Amino acid sequence: MRLLAATNPQGPNTITVWGSCRETIVIRGMERLTLITKKGASITGRSNGAPVVDIENSQSVTLQGFTINGGVAQGILCNTASVCFLTGNTIQGPGTFGVNVVRGSRAFLESNVIQNWARGAFITGAQVFSSNDIFQNNGGSAIAVLTAAYFESVNSNFLNNGDGIEAGGTVTLVGGLITGNSGIGVRLLSGKVVFQGPTITGNGGVGVHLEEGAFAGFLAANITGNLGDLDIECAPQFPITRFIDRTGGITNCVEPPSNSKLKDAE
């Protein structure tokens, strides 16, 4: 990784990596940088509390094909308005967060496996777009989408975690599977989640739980067969749902009269 010091910060630069290393990789102020391995290279974090890969104030940084082994903190940190592309990596703990995206950054995840962390991914004040990823065997939620955050998932799977998705921001779920989680499939603390075709089944708690002030729009979803008392559970005061009858699940949520009129007009 000493090659990073010799690259042009403005890029483009492509570096092919072989073998295994134990260190913290810091990428700061770089543009159009691609780190790729064709031989399954691994990077293992030190036990010093630093991320394994720390991306700061950098545009279009790609990590492809690596095994990232966690230390104490994050596997990959995408910070300070960076744009990060993570493709075909295995990002595994133990540690706090597998992928941590914060402070105005954007991350694009494709075909990664993120496993064995306290939380698989943690997003605040940032945007993450996930497709065909697997979040599995994380002790807490597979992914936490919190203050001023946006998360979009297309055909990604959330398997055998504590909770599947913990949402306090804005979430769009297109396809994919949320199953085998010991807690709740999707826990809406606040914010908004739009369901466009996911299957949520076989979780230890309810499939979807809405706290006060949360909004869920069920445009298309299969939410059945969860092990809690209900498949979709609304807290006693002020959660909002739309088109919940399309899910096929058992629920205590009540549709507002305005929504009934919408359905009659369809």
**Residue 150 is encoded by which pair of tokens?**
């946006």
Residue 175 burial (CB < 10 Å; 0-12/13-18/19+)?
A: middle
Superfamily designation of domain 2-248? Single-stranded right-handed beta-helix, Pectin lyase-like (2.160.20.10)
Are the C-beta atoms of 126 and 104 separated by less than 8 Å?
A: yes
Give the 3-state secondary structure of residue 63. Answer: strand
* Per-residue confidence in pLDDT tens, the chain, 266 aa: 555 655 778 889 999 999 999 989 999 999 999 999 988 899 999 878 899 999 999 999 999 999 999 978 999 999 999 999 999 999 999 999 999 999 999 999 999 999 999 999 999 999 999 999 999 999 999 999 999 999 999 999 999 999 999 999 999 999 999 999 999 999 999 999 999 999 999 999 999 999 988 999 999 999 999 999 999 999 887 788 899 989 999 999 988 765 444 444 34
Answer whether the bond into residue 12 is a cis peptide, omega within 30°. yes
Query: Pick from 220, 157, 218, 210: which is nearest to 188 by CA?
Result: 210
Contact 118, 142 (CB under 8 A): no
* Neighbouring-strand partners of residue 241: 216
